[in-house]
Structure 1
Amino acid sequence: MGQKPSIPKGTRDFNADVVAKRSFIMQTIKEQFKVFGFQPIETPSFENSETLMGKYGDEGDRLIFKILNSGDYLKKISEEDYNSKSESKITSNISEKALRYDLTVPFARYVVQHQNEIEFPFKRYQLQPVWRADRPQKGRFREFYQCDADVVGSKSLLQEVEFIQLYDAVFTTLQLEGVTIKINNRKILSGIAEVIGAQDKLIDFTVALDKLDKIGEEKVKDEMRSKGISEDGISKLQPLFILQGDFGNQIESLKSILSHSEIGLKGIEELEFINTAIYNLGLRTADLQLDVTLARGLNYYTGAIFEVSAPEGVKMGSIGGGGRYDDLTGIFGLKNMSGVGISFGLDRIYLVLEDLGLFPNTVTDATKVLFINFGEKEAMACLQAVTKLRQSGVKAELYPDAAKMKRQMNYANRRQIPFVVLVGEEELAAESFTLKNMKSGEQQKLSYFELLDALK
């Protein structure tokens, strides 16, 4: 007996129900992208290695799946490089392409490569799979979809306002209430680091601050001390540890803390504009909250930072995130192309909707009626009816084999097909159809048009 087949760790097979539910989420997101004026693009699943390498830091480079060159890929390696066992030297000679790690860097490459064809500001959306050689664990996979929307070529804060509205529109359509959109600004974090004299330790300071909800004030302070932040600097942070109230109250407190930081005050000004706009426009489902501990993507974002949390009571990490970047395309030589973008976490949104039972019953509706096969003559008559039903939008099938009735009925039950149609000699003679409701067991003889009405 042959070895049982398997799939690589961190990848998944999806059955029909899961595919239908994932498609429902993606279609919902896609429709809102269109409503907000975003245009679809697609990029190749793999890029030239030099496009991706060096864009995500050392850790990211290690997680990029490299593709071996075709043919005799060892031919280009000198004996000296081979014997050195140097990963960088060998890899650069045997692999010239790699699977994309995210959609953002390929998007930057796309903008630079097609800049003369693009009308700026350019609003793009993209729903495609990406690959990361990460350690698989719950909620983290090596192959997964990203659902991104970005605007490049505009510094207007109205874009940030629209992205908050976009999040709200998607989660309202999915009937996912109680979602929290957290917002911060990189300039505020830079301002705080400036005030406490830790400009050179911005990352260390923010990584520690980000843990405030998890480990508490004292342990955060201990971590900051271990990173070389002075006691005087930590004492100046004290108002942050007790920051409370609504968006407006927190902003007023921040103005006091950052009163001597020009960049910090600029960040506050930007957040005030966004908050005032959202207050005037209103949100239907989501709630906008200021979170000064939010520090995702600091090597990347330059202005607003977003993170979306699932409703309270659902054990799940962020289900979306994004932010403002001032020079995305600079990595490919096109300077001063500001942009802002967000992403939806498809897999996590799926788990939240499943946990809360929010998928509509119609999402997984497949075949509505199965025609029982009694033999060649009956099957041909059934196939004519099936064809007409399909043309009228009814999902209909004919069982392909003239198997025993019990087997065909069991097949319908296992597939959860709600109706079966029986066409035997009596029905053929009368040009009628016997429709059976598989749940109630009720049967009725109908003409074709009566059958169509009953199924629609």
Structure 2
Amino acid sequence: MAQKPTIPKGTRDFSPVEVTKRNYIVDTIREQFRIFGFQPIETPSFENSETLMGKYGEEGDRLIFKILNSGDYLNKVDDALYASKDSSKMISKISEKALRYDLTVPFARYVVQHQNEIDFPFKRFQIQPVWRADRPQKGRFREFYQCDADVVGSTSLFQEVDFIKLYDSVFTKLNLKGVTIKMNNRKILSGIAEVIGASDKLIDFTVALDKLDKIGEEGVKKEMLTKGISEEAIEKVKPLFDFTGTTPQKIDKLRNMLALSKEGMQGVEELQFIVNLIKEIPLETAILDLDVTLARGLNYYTGAIFEVSAPKTVAMGSIGGGGRYDDLTGIFGLKDISGVGISFGLDRIYLVLEELKLFPETITTSTKALFINFGEEEALYCLKAVNMLRNHQITAELYPDNAKMKKQMGYANKRSIPYVVLAGTSEMSNKTYTVKDMQSGAQNEMNFEELNFFLK
């Protein structure tokens, strides 16, 4: 008995309807990327391991899919190493490549390799799949698409403002209201770590703080303690666990808290600049919110950090995020190139639009008219009309078999094709076509010019 086929956990097949809906989102995002001046690039699905490892922090490294070397991948492993069963030491011997974890680090590698061909500031967008060895759950997959836009070669905070507007523009076009763009600055987090005496634990501090909405105040405190952050330091950071108020009020609180930190105050001023500009060019749909616990847990952010939350009526994690990474290309040898970028989570945005029923009904209609097949002669007559309609950018098709009328009409119904075209002996002699509206049942006979105009 043949084994029932399956697919790996965290991956999915997509039906024609699902692909059409996904393309609707991608096309909307791509259109706005281009309107905002970004250019498309693509990078390989896998990179050399050293390109990816060490760029996402300890947690990120564990989620990178490693690719076994081709051929006898154990030939570089000696008996002692094999017997030790130490996978962390063995991995470099048996795997030299890995599936990309995101699109940002490969982009940084791209910039370094092609620096002599690029005009800076370089604005690129990229829409490709990424892979993470995460535990699959609702809205979290092991294979998923990211839709990224980045600018490298400019330190101007006008770029951050532009990205906030880009988020707002995309969600406005998708008619997705109530989206919140959370914003913070890694300099503020560094400043807080400095004033509480935990600068040497900055990464541990930010990774734990970033989990506040997931594990709560006590969970964050417990994780900080296990990472060696003192109870005295945790007590000083306690005001962040309930950091409420309007954005101006939050900024004032930060000024008071970070008065003795030069880096922290620089982060506050950067936030203030962005907030002031957004007041001058208000957002249409999205809500901008200052969230001082936002850290995103990634090592390469150095300035502004963004994370986008779905409307509160939908139980979903972040649907986008990004930030500034002043030194990312430096790890590949290209110094003093500042970058900032954002990402849209296609799969989660899909789930949100589906739950809120925001997909336009018309996008799933792929074929406008189905021509019924009454036989070889009639089919040829219809096929000529189908070809002319396609030349006029009208989606039309001929049912391929001379099947029973009930079967052909049922096929049109199942595919939600709005119009069926019939052409028998009578229509052929009159050089006409009978068009049936599948919703109302109404039928009208018309010549090709009338048919073409009607379907348009």
Q: Same fold (TM over 0.5)?
A: yes
| Aligned residues: CA RMSD | 2.2
Deviation for aligned residue 1:94:
3.7
Q: Which residue of 2 aligns with 1:453?
A: 453
Aligned pairs for 1:419-438 (under 5 A) are 419-438=419-438
Q: Is this contact kept in 2: 1:418–1:438, CA < 8 A?
A: yes
Q: What letter is aligned with 1:48?
A: N
**Amino acid corresponding to residue 172 of structure 1 in structure 2:** T
CA separation in 2, counterparts of 1:222 and 1:444? 73
The CA distance in 2 between the partners of 1:256 and 1:82, in whole Å, is 56
Q: Secondary structure at the match of 1:166?
A: helix
In structure 1, the residue matched to 2:406 is: 406
- Pick closer, same or farther for the CA change 1:80–1:221 going to 2, 3 Å: closer
Q: Once the 2 structures are TM-superposed, how far is the Cα of residue 301 of structure 1 from its aligned partner?
A: 0.9
Aligned AA for 1:439? Q
Deviation string, structure 1 residues 82-113 (Cα, Å, up to 9, x no partner): 45544355543443332222111211111111
| Aligned AA (2:194) | E
Is 2:56–2:299's contact at 8 Å kept on the other side of the alignment? no
1:174-185 superposed matches below 5 A: 174-185=174-185
SS of residue matched to 1:274: helix
Q: Distance in 2 between matches of 1:405 and 1:65?
A: 52
Q: Which residue of 2 aligns with 1:156?
A: 156
Q: Name 1:188's counterpart in structure 2.
A: 188
The answer to whether the Cα contact below 8 Å between 1:379 and 1:398 also exists between their aligned partners in 2 is yes
Match of 1:346 in 2: 346
Counterpart residue number, 1:20: 20
Deviations 1:325-377 (A, max 9, x none): 11111221112221111110111111111111111112111111111111111
Q: Aligned partners of 1:74, 1:203: CA distance in 2, in Å?
A: 35
Aligned pairs (5 A) from 1:57-456: 57-79=57-79, 81-88=81-88, 90-213=90-213, 224=224, 229-230=229-230, 232-456=232-456
Using the TM superposition, give the Cα deviation of residue 409 of structure 1 relative to its aligned residue in structure 2, in angstroms.
1.0
Contact 1:434 1:444 in 2 (8 A): yes
Would the aligned equivalents of 2:413 and 2:438 in 1 still touch at CA under 8 Å?
yes
Shift in Å at residue 51 of structure 1?
Answer: 2.1
Shift of 1:73: 4.0
- CA deviation vs aligned residue, 1:185-205 (integer Å, no higher than 9, x gap): 111111112222222233444
Instruction: Work out the CA distance in 2 between the residues paired with 1:295 and 1:398.
Output: 56
The change in CA–CA distance for 1:413 and 1:276 in structure 2 (over 3 A counts) is same
SS across alignment from 2:250: helix
Cα distance change of structure 1 residues 133 and 228 upon mapping to structure 2, 3 Å threshold: closer
1:397 alignment partner, SS class: strand
Identical aligned residues as a percent: 71
Q: For residue 350 of structure 1, what is the amino acid of its counterpart? A: Y
- Give the TM-score taking structure 1 as reference length: 0.94
Cα–Cα, structure 1 residues 57 and 272, in superposed 2: closer, same or farther, change >3 Å?
closer
CA contact (8 A) 1:366 1:395 kept: yes
Quick one: distance in 1 between partners of 2:131 and 2:221? 37
Amino acid at match of 1:15: S
What amino acid maps onto 2:125 in structure 1?
Answer: Y
Distance 1:274 1:312 in 2: 25
Q: 1:242 to 1:427 in 2, by over 3 A?
A: closer
After superposition, the C-alpha distances for 1:50-78 in whole angstroms (9 at most, x for unaligned) are 32233334443333323333344444555
CA contact (8 A) 1:239 1:257 kept: no
2:285 and 2:270 map into 1 onto residues whose CA distance is 23
Residues in 2 aligned to 1:69 and 1:221: alpha-carbon distance in whole angstroms: 42
Q: Identify which range, 235-244 or 314-323, moves more after superposition.
A: 235-244
Kindly provide the amino acid, as one letter, of the partner of residue 293 in structure 1: T
Q: Secondary structure at the match of 2:140?
A: coil
Preserved CA contact (<8 Å) 1:322 1:341: yes
With over 3 angstroms needed to count, the CA separation of the structure-2 counterparts of 1:136 and 1:236, relative to structure 1, is: closer
TM-superposition CA deviations, 1:163-194 (whole Å, max 9, x none): 11111111111111111111111111111122
SS in 1 for 2:18: helix
SS at match of 2:21: helix
State whether residues 186 and 298 of structure 1, in contact with CA within 8 Å, keep that contact through their aligned partners in structure 2. no
Matched with 1:6 is: 6
Aligned residue identity for 2:109: R
Q: Is the 8 A contact 2:57 2:298 kept in 1?
A: no
CA distance in 2, matches of 1:339, 1:86: 37
> Residue 156 of structure 1 aligns to which amino acid in structure 2?
S
**Closer, same or farther: CA 50–255 of 1 in aligned 2, 3 Å:** closer
Instruction: Give 3-state SS (helix, strand or coil) of 2:342's partner.
Output: strand
SS in 2 for 1:293: coil
Give the CA deviation at 1:224: 4.9
* Code of the aligned partner of 1:303: G
> Tell me, which stretches of 5 or more residues in structure 1 are unaligned?
none
Deviation, 1:133, is 2.2
Q: 1:217: Cα distance to partner?
A: 5.2
Alpha-carbon offset, residue 80 of structure 1 = 5.1
CA distance in 1: counterparts of 2:324 and 2:291, whole angstroms: 16
Relative to the length of structure 2, the TM-score reads 0.94
Q: Deviations over 1:7-33 (max 9, x none)?
A: 122111000111011111111111111
Moved more, 440-449 or 270-279: 440-449
Please give the secondary structure, in 1, of the residue aligned with 2:434: strand
Report SS of the residue matched to 1:181.
strand
